[in-house]
Amino acid sequence: MATPNPEKAFPVSWDQFHRDARALAWRISSAGPFRAIVCITRGGLVPAAIVTRELGIRMIETVCIASYHDYQSQGQLKVIKEVAPHLLTDGGEGILVVDDLVDTGKTAKVVREMLPKAHFATVYAKPQGRPMVDTYVTEVSQDTWIYFPWDMGYTFQPPIRDAG
């Protein structure tokens, strides 16, 4: 993935993201029941909170995979925390995996190998990664850069730890 293209920017407000995450919950509601949700951190945390509320899922787990190291380009994938072993039984059947975006599909592929029978859902999807997910709400072009509300102020806001 290249650096963000300002001409293909897709800024998403909190209101828009909340509506889109609720739409995702509605789309996957008939695919359950789900015994647990696994959110891919960090981007999957916010949509997972909304989806778990809407679907009444109480068992929430994370899988921590670092892929965007500089907020601009996708780097080497690193699994920081794996899924709890008791959720890996039956290949992940009855598990809902949630993320904010599937881009190249590399992260989803790693998690799909851990949970091959899980239902994968993302709020947004790009064409290259779309085959890796079962359900998504909005497709954007591969060269579009999505600016999520947690990354934005009036201008891009670097994480506090990176501020000088």
Beta-strand relationship, 36-41 and 95-102: parallel
- pLDDT computed for residue 159 by the predictor: 82
- pLDDT computed for residue 23 by the predictor: 98
pLDDT tens across 44-66, in order? 999 999 999 999 999 999 999 98
Q: Which of 20, 99, 143, 162 is catalytic?
A: 99
pLDDT band at 68 (very low <50, low <70, confident <90, very high): low
Q: Looking at the predicted structure, is the pLDDT value of residue 1 above 70?
A: no
Which residues define the annotated binding site for Mg(2+)?
100
The rounded distance, in Å, linking the Cα atoms of 57 and 94 is: 11
Catalytic residue at 20?
A: no
DSSP 8-state code for residue 111: H
User: Taking the model in full, what pTM does it have?
Assistant: 0.85
What domains, with CATH codes, occur in the chain?
35-139 (3.40.50.2020)
Catalytic residue at 100?
A: yes
Whether 64 contacts 6, CB under 8 Å: no
pLDDT tens across 77-127, in order? 889 999 999 999 899 999 999 999 999 999 999 999 999 999 999 999 999
Which residues define the annotated binding site for 5-phospho-alpha-D-ribose 1-diphosphate?
42-43, 99-107
Catalytic residue at 103?
A: yes
Q: Which of 15, 20, 90, 100 is catalytic?
A: 100
Q: Which of 20, 103, 134, 151 is catalytic?
A: 103
pLDDT tens across 6-38, in order? 568 899 999 999 999 999 999 999 999 999 999
- What's the token pair of residue 52? 């778990």
